[in-house]
Amino acid sequence: MNARDRDVEGRARSARPRDGLGRPLPYGVPGVERQPEGVVRSGAETVREAQRLLDAGMPFHAHEVFEDAWKSGPQGEVPLWRGLAQLAVGLTHAARGNTVGGARLLRRGAGGIEGLRGEAYGIDVPGLVRWARELAGRVEAGGTAVDAVREAPRLGGAG
């Protein structure tokens, strides 16, 4: 396709299908259904949907759910949702084999949520911080891609 794909508002947006880790696939190849953008969910719905996607080995798609929450939720919750999105993207990069970027984003996300309160949604923030830092260390030490399903965190009890 020569012309850039556009969404309904005319913004550049790839229409290529994607795999479970968000990697673009060739046109015409079946991919994973994309997360709709701009969905407003309650905090509890956000956690449930993101956990479902993480458990399915789709951290890229979970990151989009967290991104919706940070863009549509209360301003005071932005650091929590943004940090969780960074953790999901870190796992995405680590699973794609980008060990440097994966470790960096896992650490950035851990630093972003450290000390925040996630009890309102059952989020185990200290456990997620430990999970992210431990995984970042293993990713750097091993230098190989990780299995997104096996490494998916439990938002309400990491690891």
pLDDT tens-digit map of 135-146: 999 999 987 889
19-24: long-range contacts, CB 8 A cutoff, minimum separation 24: 20/56, 20/57, 20/58, 20/60, 20/61, 20/148, 21/57, 21/58, 21/59, 21/60, 21/92, 21/95, 21/96, 21/148, 22/60, 22/61, 22/92, 23/96
pTM: 0.85
pLDDT tens-digit map of 50-102: 999 999 999 999 999 999 999 998 999 999 999 999 999 999 999 999 999 99
Domain 43-142 sits in CATH 3.40.47.10: no
